[in-house]
Amino acid sequence: MLDHSALPALPRAERVRAVDDWLSGLLADALSGTPRPSRRRGGPPPGPAGAGVALVAVGSLGRRELPPHGDLDLVLVHDGRPEVAALADALWYPVWDAGLRLDHSVRTVAEAVSVAGDDVKAGLGLLDARHVAGDPEVTAALRTATLGSWRQHAGRLLPQLRDIRRSRSRQLGELGFLLEPDLKEAYGGLREGQVLRAVAAAQLADEPPADAGEAYAFLLDVRDALQRSTGRATDALVRQEQRPVADELGLADDDVLLRRVSLAGRRLAFVADETWRRVDASLVRRPRSRYRRVRREPLAEGLVRQGDEVVLARDARPAADPGLVLRGAAAAARADLLLSPYTLKVLAVHAPPLPEPWPPEVRWSFLRLLASGRSAVPVLEQLDQEGLLSRMLPEWDRVRSLPQRHPWHRFTVDRHLVEAAAAAAELTRDVDRPDLLLVGALLHDIGKGWPGDHTEVGVIVVAEMAARMGFSEPDVATLVAMVRHHLLLPDVATRRDLDDPLTVDRVVEAIGGDAALLQLLHGLAQADGAATSSSAWSPWKAHLVAALVARVAARLGSAPLPEPVLEPTQPQVTTPAPSVPGQTGPVTVGVEDVLDGQQVTIGAADRPGLFSLCAGVLALNQLDVRAARVSVQDGHGTLVFAVRPRFGRPPVPEILADGVRAALEGTLPLGERLRQRERDYSQDRSPGRPPRISWFDAEATGTTGLVEVRATDRAGLLHRLTAALADAGLDVSSATVETLGADAVDAFYVSDPSGTPIDPDQRERAERALVAAVRGDAPDPAALGER
């Protein structure tokens, strides 16, 4: 009896050997208990008990890669014997009794080959067929027939296999750029190694290179460590399992693990891409011609287009031409082509180092490459995979496949930089110096490869790189300023009141009043956001950054003064004043569609806690507030909210008006309803880390203070925070809200209703109230109006 509980602890080879030995014994026992067929009249005598039947392993067991908690994929192959059903039962039931998962089938050789010829997945699995027990001639016949069928039907099956892998890539992403990758099915994962061997078996491509085999073996080790750590069959390398896996593999930490996984996945994906290009080219039917000439079209000095690739011209001299690499890369990207694998190998071996500083023609080629936009991304990946990019930019090795532990980022650092440069290529007509925008986008996060604050380190690194590229001193200074302030516009736009003159003053001072730098920073902010994720760069955020840029430009005298970011809309619904004297007056609500959401304007009689009540009503209606402004005139409050529906349902003015009126009258228990809403959403139940509360005196105007709260996001957080500020005796005049993954960054402009500056005691009370609000202990805003 196999002790399956001991299998996970065994090394992979011993685990496969133990299972093989056990299965061989099972087949022998099954054969000994199964009646042999009698001799038919005129037929051959029956052979030995195991003749004509074989137990064949496919899948991971067939490849000798069985994971600790993997399935057994077995095929019982026979020559047509009638008692095979009883034999199969005698074989499969002990496997199930041992607690192992089993994927099984019973086939003749002809049946197996027929299925493999129609089903690409079945054909792929049978290519891994390996003899375990029984008649080896049956297994040999199966392997020979399967291989012949695979090669015969390759023209039909391989395009299906390619489409399946591309579909999985769209669903699960690319292994090399994911923070929680699926080691098996993500593009560049273990499945790619199996596909590469299948393509080679079809004789349409060479065997995978040695480094691809090493990458594949490493991913196998990671999966084994993952399944041993979790105690279950899984291929998803989620965040909480990465440190235990790193420890088991003897790696320094989870970042080292994820970086090596990324490098392995990128290598397999790169080899797979090259292989599929070869397959596609070989499957295209061309008219036969005895003297078919290959057309060669000149693209640049030393480079020609041949078919769908860029290759070296006959007179090219790679060893004597330092600019050939970048010139070839630029030519390929501009023509939306790729460099041929042979050309890449030649350049990697023979290309000399670039002179320092770079000659103008080399820098021009580099800029042409970046300016090609999306078509430059695969070309830069080619240079990266052959080590040519790091040879030209040694600092690139520091960020190569470096993971980013931030919920917004979808790419590793190096791929994020490449994507940012591609996005910047779409904005070159919006700036006076497109060359600086392209290079700044490519290098803005280069400092993440060193310890410390990536911005502070980045300005030092970029200064050295830009000088080596041959930029002038003023241009180097501009690139340094771009890196130093690449987060300035998004941070200020999303966390400060854009209509506050001090906000504009802060940006003007930071950029030194340089309108050209403002232009470049705007383009860089757009490119950086687009390369991060849709959460990081929504239409609303783009609108806020553009509004900030317009205000700064107006201050610098290069543009007219823009309209306010939030303006009251005309009321669409008015609830009548109640008939009982002393109760709340009429409530007006206006809703207007704006970028990426709606603007809601609420009018009501002013009272303490009005802001919090309205924020709570919006939260109950599944509306996320991103910015707000309050104005009070003659005892009437007007609140303007920029909102976005959490589940896509736009706000209904009548419902909002009824909710605000009920909250003002005390008939809507906001606190209780929001606590219930919080319980309904599991992601809101975690208390998270303690909040961080900061006051920014330098950015306050007169008696107005600015307080920023960073806390774990949860349902109704804005309602609680503003209620806490009201309970501390402070009025909120405007607010901005930004969500960073699971955290919220809320900034409030507050003042004392008496018109006096906020004193230290008030700050202390406000901070205690805000901390309590984050814990869920906010006061009831409905009671504030009674004080």
Range from 20-29, 39-48, 424-433, 613-622 carrying the lowest mean pLDDT: 39-48
520 in any annotated domain: no
The pLDDT confidence band at residue 50, using thresholds 50, 70 and 90, is: low
Q: How far apart are CA 243 and CA 256, in angstroms?
A: 10
Which of 249, 53, 215 has its CA nearest to residue 138?
Answer: 53
Q: What's the confidence (pLDDT) of residue 48?
A: 54
Q: How far apart are CA 675 and CA 690, in angstroms?
A: 19
Residue 575 vs residue 495, higher pLDDT: 495
Which of 98, 89, 103, 91 has its CA nearest to residue 57?
Answer: 103
Please, are residues 749 and 500 in contact by the beta-carbon 8 Å criterion?
yes
CA angle 112, 116, 120 (to 5 degrees): 155
pLDDT at position 411 over 60: yes
Which of 310, 314, 306 has its CA nearest to residue 325?
Answer: 310
Residue 540 vs residue 291, higher pLDDT: 540
Q: How far apart are CA 271 and CA 194, in angstroms?
A: 12
Q: What's the confidence (pLDDT) of residue 263?
A: 96
pLDDT at position 782 over 70: no
CATH number of the domain to which 113 belongs = 3.30.460.10
Q: How far apart are CA 707 and CA 693, in angstroms?
A: 7
Are residues 125 and 8 part of one domain? yes
Percent of the residues in the chain that have a pLDDT greater than 70, as a whole number: 91
Task: Note the pTM of the prediction, 2 decimals.
Answer: 0.82
pLDDT at position 787 over 60: no
Q: How far apart are CA 116 and CA 157, in angstroms?
A: 10
Are residues 176 and 275 part of one domain? yes
Q: What is the dihedral of CA 18, 19, 20, 23, to 10 degrees?
A: 130
Residue 35 vs residue 272, higher pLDDT: 272
Are residues 161 and 136 part of one domain? no
Q: What's the confidence (pLDDT) of residue 476?
A: 98
Q: Which residues of 492-524 are buried (b: 16+ CB within 10 A; e: fewer)?
A: bbbbbbbbbebbbebbbebbeeeeebbbbbbbb
Output the CA torsion sign for 393, 396, 398, 400: negative
**How many CA within 13 A on the CB side of residue 363?**
18
Range from 42-56, 123-137, 151-165 carrying the lowest mean pLDDT: 42-56
The pLDDT confidence band at residue 687, using thresholds 50, 70 and 90, is: low
Range from 161-170, 405-414, 546-555 carrying the lowest mean pLDDT: 405-414
Q: How far apart are CA 261 and CA 267, in angstroms?
A: 10
Structural domain boundaries, residue 262? 156-283
**Secondary structure class of 205 (helix, strand, coil):** coil
The residue out of 256, 283, 310 marking a domain boundary is: 283
The pair phi, psi for residue 165, each rounded to 5°, is -70, -35
DSSP 118: H
Average the pLDDT over 146-164 and give the result.
91
DSSP 207: P
CA angle 723, 725, 729 (to 5 degrees): 110
- 183-230 pLDDT, tens digit each: 999 999 999 999 999 999 988 888 899 999 999 999 999 999 999 999
Average the pLDDT over 743-759 and give the result.
89
Are residues 743 and 595 part of one domain? yes
Q: How far apart are CA 499 and CA 664, in angstroms?
A: 29
CATH number of the domain to which 184 belongs = 1.20.120.330
Are residues 760 and 642 part of one domain? yes
572 in any annotated domain: no
- 453-475 pLDDT, tens digit each: 999 999 999 999 999 999 999 99
Q: How far apart are CA 515 and CA 356, in angstroms?
A: 31
CA angle 178, 398, 218 (to 5 degrees): 50
Are residues 725 and 625 part of one domain? yes
Please, are residues 732 and 748 in contact by the beta-carbon 8 Å criterion?
yes
Are residues 123 and 21 part of one domain? yes
Average the pLDDT over 360-378 and give the result.
96
Place of tokens 């998270």: 688
**Total count of domains within the chain:** 3
288 in any annotated domain: no
- 296-328 pLDDT, tens digit each: 899 999 999 998 899 999 999 999 999 999 999
CATH number of the domain to which 591 belongs = 3.30.70.260
355 in any annotated domain: no
The pair phi, psi for residue 404, each rounded to 5°, is -120, 115
Q: How far apart are CA 175 and CA 164, in angstroms?
A: 16
Please, are residues 94 and 100 in contact by the beta-carbon 8 Å criterion?
no
Please, are residues 695 and 706 in contact by the beta-carbon 8 Å criterion?
yes
pLDDT at position 742 over 80: no
pLDDT at position 39 over 50: no
Place of tokens 């930089």: 417
The residue out of 104, 135, 152 marking a domain boundary is: 152
Q: What's the confidence (pLDDT) of residue 363?
A: 96
Q: What's the confidence (pLDDT) of residue 481?
A: 98
How many C-beta atoms surround the C-beta of residue 699 within 10 A? 21
**How many CA within 13 A on the CB side of residue 38?**
2
Are residues 147 and 9 part of one domain? yes
For 757, residues 6+ apart whose C-beta sits below 8 A from its C-beta are: 703, 705
- 620-679 pLDDT, tens digit each: 998 988 888 888 888 899 999 999 888 778 899 999 999 999 999 989 988 888 888 777
Tokens of 350: 């023979």
290 in any annotated domain: no
pLDDT at position 89 over 70: yes
Please, are residues 459 and 447 in contact by the beta-carbon 8 Å criterion?
yes
Reduced 3-state DSSP string for 267-299 = HHHHHHHHHHHHHHHHHCCCCCCCCCCCCEEEE
The pLDDT confidence band at residue 763, using thresholds 50, 70 and 90, is: very high
The pLDDT confidence band at residue 42, using thresholds 50, 70 and 90, is: very low
Q: How far apart are CA 117 and CA 10, in angstroms?
A: 36
DSSP 513: T
Beta-bridged to residue 746, according to DSSP, are: 709, 737
Q: If you average pLDDT over every residue of the chain, what do you get?
A: 88
The pLDDT confidence band at residue 368, using thresholds 50, 70 and 90, is: very high
Tokens of 62: 């067939």
Q: How far apart are CA 251 and CA 244, in angstroms?
A: 10
Percent of the residues in the chain that have a pLDDT greater than 90, as a whole number: 64
487 in any annotated domain: no
Are residues 190 and 110 part of one domain? no
Q: Which residues of 7-35 are buried (b: 16+ CB within 10 A; e: fewer)?
A: bbeeebeebbebbbebbeebbeebbeebe
Q: What's the confidence (pLDDT) of residue 17?
A: 95
pLDDT at position 287 over 70: no
Q: How far apart are CA 355 and CA 365, in angstroms?
A: 14
Which of 716, 712, 727 has its CA nearest to residue 765?
Answer: 727
Which of 567, 410, 552 has its CA nearest to residue 493?
Answer: 552
Please, are residues 245 and 237 in contact by the beta-carbon 8 Å criterion?
yes
Q: How far apart are CA 396 and CA 399, in angstroms?
A: 6
Tokens of 495: 């966390």
Place of tokens 């992601």: 683
Please, are residues 193 and 271 in contact by the beta-carbon 8 Å criterion?
no
> Pairing mode, if any, of strands 309-312 and 338-339?
parallel
Q: What's the confidence (pLDDT) of residue 99?
A: 87
Q: How far apart are CA 129 and CA 142, in angstroms?
A: 8
Rg (CA), the chain: 34
Count the helices and strands in the chain (H runs, E runs): 31, 17
Q: How far apart are CA 208 and CA 193, in angstroms?
A: 8
The pair phi, psi for residue 208, each rounded to 5°, is -55, 145
DSSP 756: P
- 711-730 pLDDT, tens digit each: 988 878 899 999 999 999 99
**Secondary structure class of 603 (helix, strand, coil):** strand
How many C-beta atoms surround the C-beta of residue 563 within 10 A? 9
Q: What is the dihedral of CA 236, 239, 245, 251, to 10 degrees?
A: 130
455 in any annotated domain: no
Average the pLDDT over 553-580 and give the result.
71
Are residues 616 and 711 part of one domain? yes
The pair phi, psi for residue 222, each rounded to 5°, is -65, -45
Please, are residues 562 and 546 in contact by the beta-carbon 8 Å criterion?
no
710 in any annotated domain: yes
Burial (CB count <10 Å: 0-12, 13-18, 19+), residue 323: buried
Are residues 620 and 596 part of one domain? yes
The residue out of 135, 152, 169 marking a domain boundary is: 152
**How many CA within 13 A on the CB side of residue 92?**
16
Are residues 67 and 163 part of one domain? no
The length of the chain is 787
Q: What's the confidence (pLDDT) of residue 785?
A: 54
Q: What's the confidence (pLDDT) of residue 574?
A: 63
Where on the phi/psi map is residue 609: left (φ > 0), alpha (ψ -120 to 50), or beta?
left
Residue 583 vs residue 57, higher pLDDT: 57
Q: How far apart are CA 67 and CA 12, in angstroms?
A: 7
Query: To which H or E segment does residue 567 belong?
Result: none
For 232, residues 6+ apart whose C-beta sits below 8 A from its C-beta are: 69
- 342-357 pLDDT, tens digit each: 999 999 999 999 999 9
